[in-house]
Structure formats: structure tokens, C-alpha cells
Amino acid sequence: MTNTKWMIALLALGFGAQASAQGFGEIHGKVLDPDGNPVEFGIVRAEQGGSVTGTETDAEGRFILKPLAAGEYDVKVQAIGLQPAEITGVRVDPGLIVRLKDVHLASMLGTIVVERYKWEEPLIRPDDPSRMVMTTAQIKTNAVRKDPVKMIASMTPGVTKSANSDELYFRGSRAGAMAYYVDGVKVTGTNPGVPSEAINSVSVYTGGLPAKYGDVTGGVVAIDTKSYFDLWQQRNSGR
């Protein structure tokens, strides 16, 4: 193989690795004992189907789970002498960090009882304040979920729906300056064409757009549809 071909191959591998890294997210958190002290050497696992990613807590009780492919995870925490805990339905998005609330483990009193609770995704994440997120659970309770465009407008301050069409107007930008992305693919037109039942999450960017949306001057609506695994989870959880 010539030097030129070697260079092309190396560049291709580099770009492939970068693209792969951008497709993963992380879960950060902290584990405390009943007195509020950090728990060191606690075991923390993120489980999705048969896939498990694990780590240990450090001297300050902190942990980082990575790399994690986008999707929902159950985070399980355990430590010697303390009751285990489980946080279900933690949503991981590509390139973003999920920061869990401090996990407080109760004292071990005879029978082991797992404290289990559902993770609630914040509408606005501190790491990405220009991005608002609506998940499956929030979509399910939205009064206008049958009209996805109207639903998107209802979740985001500064975004309005045209009275005569499906076009969305982002405050401070001209008409036609926004774009829809469905599972990372840009969709033309004023309606993404995805029914609310098929939506896993909706992210609305009103400013500070990520580089991957560099050709858009207004807002971006990124729709993540449900995968087979999401549908399997929904069916088994009765949601």
C-alpha cells in the first residue's frame, strides 16, 4: 500500500472514531450513606437489555458511567453494609451528560430491600440550557399530543405555530429558518411526519446550535423515534 493510501486509511479511521464518540453519552452521579458521607468503592452499573456498563465510586462518592449508547438505562447502586438502590428509565442522549441527583443508600437492616425510583428528566439540562427535551412520559400526558407540531410549540417558550399552516416560528428568526431532524436525518417541509406514538423524545434548540446543525440559522427540532428495544421496554412496563 502506498503512503497516500495509508494516509487516507488513517484519516478514515480517525473520522470514524470521532463520529462514533459523538454518538455516546454519559451518566454522572454521587453516592452517599445515611449520614450524608460519600460512599467509596460502591458498585454502580448501567443496564440496557443484556448490556451492562459498570464502575466504582471514588473517594468523594462520585461515579461516571461511559461510554453509553443513546437510550434508556436502569442504574443500579450497591455498597457493602448498605441497602441497594435502582434508578429506572435514565435517558441518555448522544454527546450529553446526564447528572443524577445524589443517591442516598439506607442502612442494611436484616432483609435486603432495593429502593427503586423512576428518573425524571429535567425539561432543561444545565449543560445545554438552549435545549428543551420532552420524553415519552411527558408526551403521553400532553393535551395536544395528537398534533405533534402544536405539541412542540406548546413545550417551548418563544416558539409559536402558524395559525394557517404547520410552520413553526422561532423568536428572533425569520420564517423558514428552522429545521427538523428525525433520527439525525434532516427532513424538509413544515411537518416532520412522525406520529406522537412513535416519538421517543423531542429536543428543541432555540439558540447555541450544535455544530452538526451548522447550516441552520433559526431553531432546530430533533426527533428521536422509538426503537424496537424502546417498544419492548414500553410493552413490558405497561406504559
Residue 209 reports pLDDT greater than 60: yes
Residue 8 lies in a domain: no
Could you tell me if 94 and 161 lie in one domain? no
Q: What is the pLDDT of residue 61?
A: 96
Q: What is the pLDDT of residue 229?
A: 58
Residue 210 lies in a domain: yes
Could you tell me if 219 and 133 lie in one domain? yes
Could you tell me if 47 and 136 lie in one domain? no
Residue 12 lies in a domain: no
Number of domains in the chain: 2
Residue 176 reports pLDDT greater than 70: yes
CA distance 135 to 187: 20
Q: Pick from 70, 100, 120: which residue ends a domain? A: 120
Q: What CATH number corresponds to the domain at position 206? A: 2.170.130.10
Q: What CATH number corresponds to the domain at position 106? A: 2.60.40.1120
Residue 2 lies in a domain: no
5-15 pLDDT tens trace: 444 343 333 43
Residue 171 lies in a domain: yes
Could you tell me if 99 and 181 lie in one domain? no
Q: Pick from 95, 120, 145: which residue ends a domain? A: 120
The average pLDDT across 205-226 equals 80
Q: Which is higher by pLDDT, 39 or 176? A: 39
Residue 143 reports pLDDT greater than 80: yes
The average pLDDT across 144-166 equals 85
Q: Pick from 97, 120, 143: which residue ends a domain? A: 120
Per the structure, the complete domain to which residue 229 belongs is given by 125-235
Lowest mean pLDDT among 124-128, 162-166, 205-209: 124-128
Question: Hey, which residues does 186 pair with through a beta bridge?
Answer: 181
Could you tell me if 116 and 178 lie in one domain? no
Could you tell me if 109 and 207 lie in one domain? no
Could you tell me if 226 and 135 lie in one domain? yes
Residue 1 lies in a domain: no
Could you tell me if 220 and 158 lie in one domain? yes
